[in-house]
Every structure is written in C-alpha cells, then in structure tokens.
Amino acid sequence: MGYFLPTAFQLGIQEVDDQHHALVDLTNVCADLIEAGQEKDACPPLKKFIHLLEDHFHKEEAMMERMGYPGLDWHREHHADALRVTQKVFDTCRANEQITAGDIADLFNNVIMDIVRADLKFAEYLEGRGDLRRP
C-alpha cells in the first residue's frame, strides 16, 4: 500500500491541497521504484518533488503574507528545514549512492509535518477570521 493523505488533512484551500496530493503522488513514484530495485531511476521524480515543494512553500508563504498570518516566520523556518532534508535525499541519489525506503519515508513525513504542524494552523486562522470554510 502506498502513502496517502487522510481526509482530515484537507485544508479546504484547493490549490494547496492539490499540491500536497501531488507531493504524496511523487513520494509513491519514488517508493515504488525503490521497491522494484530501480532506485537510480528515482532521481528525476525526486527532482520534480523538490521543485514542487519549493513552489508549494513559496505559494503558502505568499498567501500567509497576504493574509497577515502571525505564524509566518516560524512557518518559513519549518519550510527551510523540510527543504534541507529533501535536498539531502536528492543529493544522495544524484551522487549515485544508495537511497532507501526510509529516505522516501522522510519525504512523506516532511509533507505530513508541513500539513499537521503548520498548514492546518493557518487554515484554522483563516477559518477563525471567517475567510475559509473547512471541509
């Protein structure tokens, strides 16, 4: 069984939710390749994952800035940490070194942490202002 996002992790902000799902989809592509013993082929989807993650974080931060979200600075730091972990996995792959199912689990955990520890708080903030109706 692959990685998936439970419904409770939907923010109710379509664009952000779609990106979270796309990130999890890419995590599954990498996990399947590793399971099939084709870890070398995981570099391109990993690169895609990083680009999407960067784009995702920029979009979230821009949105938070626009909405005057008070937790933005902390959220930014959390994003930078997540990017560092992801870049490390990609560098390992690019250097032709072994990446493992555990590395891919780290990527998934980054997405989950982004949602659970940070994004959901932002969604609650918007909901409290009456700017968002959560599913």
User: In the complex, which residues of this chain contact Fe ion (CB under 5 A)?
Assistant: 60, 114, 118-119
| 3-class secondary structure, 59 | helix
Q: How far apart are CA 55 and CA 2, in angstroms?
A: 24
Residue 29 or 63: the one with the smaller Cβ distance to Fe ion is 63
Residue 24 or 43: the one with the smaller Cβ distance to Fe ion is 24
Residue 81 carries which side chain, given as an amino acid letter?
Answer: D
**Minimal distance, residue 122 CB to Fe ion, in Å:** 7
**Minimal distance, residue 16 CB to Fe ion, in Å:** 6
CB–CB of 104/31 below 8 Å? yes
Does residue 130 come out as left (phi exceeding 0), alpha (psi in the -120 to 50 range) or beta?
A: left
**Minimal distance, residue 110 CB to Fe ion, in Å:** 10
Residue 40 or 51: the one with the smaller Cβ distance to Fe ion is 51
Tell whether the torsion through CA atoms of 93, 95, 100 and 104 is positive or negative.
negative
Residue 39 or 114: the one with the smaller Cβ distance to Fe ion is 114
**Minimal distance, residue 93 CB to Fe ion, in Å:** 23
Q: How far apart are CA 98 and CA 86, in angstroms?
A: 15
